[in-house]
């Protein structure tokens, strides 16, 4: 089934039969009510990609082909590039000796093709040296525990600059997260998009309550001590699910799913997945 990408856009509705859309490709004026309704729906659903079936169901089989041709010609949608990446190995960089020891004990078989590297900080010569040796058929997984947002941003920018295929993992707000797998060449949402959307959504929730939320407390802690560890890795159910997540990520047959979706592991060890979307202020599409 064909999949079409929706470049991030802003829609300004003058009325139901007149609207202006701006995206990375330019500005388009729309006068067709159906297409205006279509983009308002995409905006409401926060979709950055749609299947041909989604478009056909919206416009009907008779209009489908002409609508797709118009949207492609107008650069309002793009054909999705096939993500053809059969990586053969994964390298997991960890800045926590506790989780490093735990993973080394649990994942010991060479058949998984996972290598673990313990580092003091990602902004180090050791990390940069190891990245220089990474081959194109390798997935890099930095695990941040503790999570330093400045270090996280620097690492994402560095790996993007080196055109490394990677995803990130970190504890946050009593859960554990894995971003989607990202490569600059794929033009998908990046791990900076993910964490920015995550933090924004958690902070906005707290505005509806007068009592300070856990998120507010976490932010205060991080502001006082950026190296404070929120998650102590003593939760068996969560730890097992984290190991399972790493093993699933190490299998390149899952690339289509994990390049589009991020993972949240709660304190009970239950995984939930959601589609990763571009953050409007991120520079990953530049």
Q: Mean pLDDT, to the nearest integer, of 164-173? A: 93
Q: Mean pLDDT, to the nearest integer, of 195-212? A: 63
Query: Which pLDDT belongs to residue 9?
Result: 87
Distance of CA 50 to the CA centre of its chain: 17
3-class DSSP state for residue 228? Answer: coil
Structure tokens at 273: 């997945």
Query: Which pLDDT belongs to residue 273?
Result: 94
pTM greater than 0.85:
no
% of the chain exceeding 70 in pLDDT = 85
The pLDDT tens digits for 238-263 are 888 999 999 999 988 888 889 989 99
Query: Which pLDDT belongs to residue 224?
Result: 42
Asked if 183 and 85 touch (Cβ cutoff 8 Å), the reply is yes
pLDDT at residue 51 greater than cutoff 50: yes
Order of strands, sheet of 271-275, starting from the edge strand that comes earlier in the sequence: 114-118, 89-94, 138-143, 169-172, 175-178, 261-265, 271-275
DSSP-assigned letter for residue 38: H
Query: Which pLDDT belongs to residue 36?
Result: 94
Q: What stretches of the chain adopt beta strand conformation (E)? A: 3-5, 9-15, 18-23, 26-30, 49-51, 78-79, 89-94, 114-118, 138-143, 169-172, 175-178, 261-265, 271-275
Structure tokens at 110: 């060479």
Average of per-residue pLDDT values in the chain? 84
CATH number belonging to domain 89-275: 3.40.50
Higher per-residue confidence, 100 vs 224: 100
| pLDDT band, very low/low/confident/very high, at 225 (cuts 50, 70, 90) | very low
Query: Which pLDDT belongs to residue 111?
Result: 64
For 202, other C-beta atoms within 10 Å of its C-beta total 17
Which residues contact residue 54 at a Cβ distance below 8 angstroms, ignoring those fewer than 6 apart?
none
CA distance 10 to 24: 10
pLDDT at residue 18 greater than cutoff 70: yes
Query: Which pLDDT belongs to residue 227?
Result: 46
Asked if 139 and 249 touch (Cβ cutoff 8 Å), the reply is yes
| pLDDT band, very low/low/confident/very high, at 228 (cuts 50, 70, 90) | very low
Q: Which long-range contacts (CB under 8 A, 24 or more apart) does 240-245 make?
A: 240/269, 241/176, 241/265, 241/269, 241/270, 241/271, 242/169, 242/176, 243/103, 243/106, 243/107, 244/271, 245/169, 245/178, 245/271
Q: Mean pLDDT, to the nearest integer, of 180-188? A: 89
Query: Which pLDDT belongs to residue 256?
Result: 84
Q: Mean pLDDT, to the nearest integer, of 110-118? A: 84
């Amino acid at each position: 089934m064909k999949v079409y990408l929706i470049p991030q856009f802003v829609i300004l509705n003058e009325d139901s039969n007149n609207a202006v859309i701006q995206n990375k490709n330019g500005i388009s004026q729309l006068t067709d009510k159906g297409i205006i309704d279509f983009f308002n729906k995409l905006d409401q659903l926060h979709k950055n990609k749609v299947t041909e079936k989604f478009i056909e169901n919206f416009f009907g089989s008779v209009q489908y082909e002409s609508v797709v041709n118009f949207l492609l010609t107008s650069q309002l949608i793009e054909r999705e590039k096939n993500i053809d990446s059969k990586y053969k190995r994964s390298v997991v960089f960890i800045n926590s000796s506790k989780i490093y020891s735990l993973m080394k004990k649990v994942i010991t078989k060479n058949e998984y093709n996972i290598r673990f590297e313990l580092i003091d900080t990602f902004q180090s010569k050791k990390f940069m040296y190891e990245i220089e040796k990474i081959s194109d058929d390798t997935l890099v997984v930095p695990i941040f525990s503790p999570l330093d947002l400045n270090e996280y941003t620097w690492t994402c920018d560095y790996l993007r600059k080196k055109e490394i295929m990677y995803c990130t993992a970190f504890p946050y707000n009593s859960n554990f997260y894995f971003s989607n797998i990202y490569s600059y060449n794929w033009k998908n949402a990046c791990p900076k998009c993910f964490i920015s959307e995550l933090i924004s959504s958690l902070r906005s929730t707290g505005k509806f309550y007068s009592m300070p939320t856990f998120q507010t407390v976490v932010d205060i802690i991080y502001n006082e001590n950026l190296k404070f560890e929120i998650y102590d890795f003593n939760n068996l159910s969560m730890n097992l699910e984290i190991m399972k997540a790493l093993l699933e990520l190490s299998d390149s047959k899952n690339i289509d799913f994990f390049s589009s979706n991020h993972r949240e592991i709660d304190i009970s060890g239950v995984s939930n997945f959601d589609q990763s979307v571009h953050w409007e202020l991120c520079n990953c599409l530049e």
